[in-house]
Chain A
Amino acid sequence: MKQGFRQSMAWLHTWGGLVFTWLLFAIFLAGTLSFFREEISLWMQPELHRVAPEGGDGVAYALAELQQRGAGAKSWTISLPGPRDPVVEARWNKGKFDPKALVTLDPATGEVLAPRETRGGTFFRSFHFSLMQGVLGEWIVGIATMMMLVALITGIVIHKKIFKDFFTFRPEKSKPRAWLDAHNVTGVMALPFHLMITYTGLVTLMYVYMPAGIAVVYGSEEKSFFATLSSRQEAPQPQGTPAELTALEPLLAQARAHWNGAPPGSVLISNPGDAAVVVDIMRRRGASIAARIEPMLRFDGVTGRLLAEHDDDFAARNTYGVMYGLHVAWFAQPFLRGLLFAMGLMGCLMIASGAVIWTAKRREQHTAAYAAPGYRLVEALNVAGVAGLLLSFTVYFWANRLLPTDLPERIGWEQRCLFITWLLTLGYALLRGNFAKTWRELLWLAALLLFLIPLLNAASGGLPLWESMAQQRWPLAGFDLLSMAIASALAWAGWSIARPRQQRAPRRRVARPSTGVAVETSS
């Protein structure tokens, strides 16, 4: 090796990081928002805001609707209300998947609700792991995640003063220096989180990235691999003789007692109306850190007898469940969820500051050559990738409230508004010329729109902030409050990013290889 080990690692960190930085920022920000997926979805359906939480489980109402609308279906599913989702949902399956075969009810009154069509917070989750591009997107995200892992590990290697500079943040220093401090502080303080979330992120999609093991054991029967992973069971064949469904409440109570008080989350009724009816009750996710392998109890739907318990954990499934669970954090109570969100934002800051360091360093070093198109492209991608994305995500929330509810293909249009905004910011950043001003304009616009979110919410049918706070509806109030808090941070960032700094006397930079933190030496 011509260069030293640390220099090679610095090269890899700099250039590998640069190539993936904008994609990683988008993945990280969308993933961070996904911690609040259910809260975001609820906020994006103002028709549901006035459903009071803890209004019972609504199973009787759901069953009445299913008997009417879902007669002759192969199966019925009831999603029970929970602390993060106040409504009860009833679905029926008449043979092929139909997204319209769904009714949403107020569990306390049985009133049929008509929430607007939206993908809600689930958009961020899908975007996070597939960029809305299916398997191709999953591969792109996988490669970027691998690069993230490489960047984290090379980052540790090249950070010479990881303990000495643990608390060091010097915003008064020159720009590259201050950004490097910010990069280090957000990276090092939340390093356990960054490593955990990156690694478990790869594991959640391991069956996409490393299918060989599954192919060897299961061959072409890939389906049976997923069946082993999940606690869902095949339904028995219908007998053709009609039969009455047993009362569900005692079964739900029995399930809850079986799981030591952990509540059920959903009920699947297979062969409703037939003598071969079975009732599967799944535990609400989040009772354990392990996710995706929720225990299930199967009851005879006529007699109510317990037929089978599926809560056997075997080591491999449990390992996967814990890794998956750590990543999606369904187990997290509100306080911990907030901490995870904060650490996710620290990750976003780490990535964004890394991107900014690359340009700030070169702007300082090559003042004359800095007008080259390559630099301009990176600057423009930085602005659009960070400030533009923040603005686009904000526009998504606005589109959710402003697009007419009867618009055909409404879900598609909400997302199109986001992506069109993102493209426009990129075009603007490329054409505007003055990058510092572009940063400021986009950040301020995002801050303004985000700060007005509570007003938008109140004006477009949502539960206003003062009422949600008075009623202690924290999932809703939290959305409004967090929007304003993040808006304030963005406004401050926009103000400080383009602030002219006191010009210090130009220092001749002497090469001091042992003292500077080696992020980048060659260029």
Chain B
Amino acid sequence: MNVLAWGLAYSGLVLLCLAMGKHQRQMIGMEIAGVGRIGIRAAGVVLLLASFASAVAADGWQAGPVTWFGLLAVGGLLLAMLLPHAPRAGLKLAWISPPAILVALLLSG
């Protein structure tokens, strides 16, 4: 379960990042303005909240929040390192990881 929290945290961070003009140019080669930007940011916040819920569900109220902060830190660092070198891979990872983790979790039972 906390692997899922990691996927959600990373994807949420990517969406927050994608709501910023200069990173939009980096990741998708164009700028989205206005409502689209707000929508992306809102979706990012929702994913981060879902990640928090998932971390708490996995590790409980005592350790869960600590895990969540750790996931944000490590996910954020990964994203910041991917941005200058492989921005599109960073974006792809965000699309793929939560569903992939979910499928893996379901398969492993």
Co-assembled chains A and B: yes
A residues with a Cβ closer than 8 A to B are: 164, 166-172, 185-186, 189-190, 192-193, 288-289, 326, 331-333, 335-336, 339-340, 342-343, 346
The reply to whether A289 and B73 form a contact with Cβ atoms under 8 Å apart is no
The reply to whether A289 and B80 form a contact with Cβ atoms under 8 Å apart is no
- The secondary structure that dominates the B interface is helix
The reply to whether A343 and B74 form a contact with Cβ atoms under 8 Å apart is yes
- How long is the Cα–Cα vector from A167 to B24 in the complex, in angstroms? 12
The reply to whether A339 and B84 form a contact with Cβ atoms under 8 Å apart is no
The reply to whether A333 and B71 form a contact with Cβ atoms under 8 Å apart is no
Q: How far is the CB of B70 from chain A (nearest CB, A)?
A: 3
The reply to whether B63 and A331 form a contact with Cβ atoms under 8 Å apart is yes
List chain B residues, Cβ under 8 A from A192: 69, 73
Contact of B77 among A189, A332, A333 (CB under 8 A): A189
Q: How far is the CB of A197 from chain B (nearest CB, A)?
A: 11
Contact status of A168 and B80, CB under 8 A, knowing A332-B63, A333-B59: yes
The reply to whether B67 and A172 form a contact with Cβ atoms under 8 Å apart is no
- How long is the Cα–Cα vector from A332 to B74 in the complex, in angstroms? 16
Chain B positions 65 through 101: 1 when the CB is less than 8 Å from some CB of chain A, otherwise 0: 0110111111011011101100000000000000000
B23 contacts chain A at the CB level, 8 A cutoff:
yes
B54 contacts chain A at the CB level, 8 A cutoff:
no
- How long is the Cα–Cα vector from A342 to B73 in the complex, in angstroms? 9
Contact status of A167 and B23, CB under 8 A, knowing A189-B76, A288-B62, A346-B77: yes
- How long is the Cα–Cα vector from A243 to B3 in the complex, in angstroms? 54
- How long is the Cα–Cα vector from A393 to B75 in the complex, in angstroms? 28
The reply to whether B80 and A193 form a contact with Cβ atoms under 8 Å apart is no
Total A-B pairs, Cβ < 8 A:
73
The reply to whether B69 and A169 form a contact with Cβ atoms under 8 Å apart is no
Contact of B80 among A185, A288, A333, A339 (CB under 8 A): A185
List chain B residues, Cβ under 8 A from A333: 59, 63
The reply to whether B63 and A339 form a contact with Cβ atoms under 8 Å apart is no
- How long is the Cα–Cα vector from A166 to B63 in the complex, in angstroms? 26
The reply to whether A193 and B69 form a contact with Cβ atoms under 8 Å apart is yes
The reply to whether A186 and B77 form a contact with Cβ atoms under 8 Å apart is yes
B17 contacts chain A at the CB level, 8 A cutoff:
yes
List chain B residues, Cβ under 8 A from A169: 80-81, 83-84
The reply to whether B73 and A331 form a contact with Cβ atoms under 8 Å apart is no
Q: A167-B80, A336-B2, A342-B77 are in contact. List 9 more A-B contacts (CB 8 A).
A: A185-B76, A189-B80, A192-B73, A289-B62, A326-B66, A332-B63, A342-B74, A343-B74, A346-B77
Contact of B66 among A168, A172, A189, A336 (CB under 8 A): A336
B32 contacts chain A at the CB level, 8 A cutoff:
no
List chain A residues, Cβ under 8 A from B13: 167
B20 contacts chain A at the CB level, 8 A cutoff:
yes
Q: How far is the CB of A495 from chain B (nearest CB, A)?
A: 15
- How long is the Cα–Cα vector from A289 to B67 in the complex, in angstroms? 13
Q: How far is the CB of A60 from chain B (nearest CB, A)?
A: 34
List chain B residues, Cβ under 8 A from A332: 63, 66
The reply to whether A343 and B83 form a contact with Cβ atoms under 8 Å apart is no
The reply to whether B79 and A167 form a contact with Cβ atoms under 8 Å apart is yes
List chain B residues, Cβ under 8 A from A167: 13, 17, 20, 23, 76, 79-80, 83
List chain A residues, Cβ under 8 A from B67: 335-336, 339
The reply to whether B17 and A193 form a contact with Cβ atoms under 8 Å apart is no
List chain B residues, Cβ under 8 A from A189: 72-73, 76-77, 80
- In the complex, which residues 1-40 of chain B have their Cβ closer than 8 Å to any Cβ of chain A? 2, 13, 16-17, 20, 22-23
- How long is the Cα–Cα vector from A80 to B80 in the complex, in angstroms? 44
List chain B residues, Cβ under 8 A from A185: 76-77, 80
Q: How far is the CB of B78 from chain A (nearest CB, A)?
A: 10
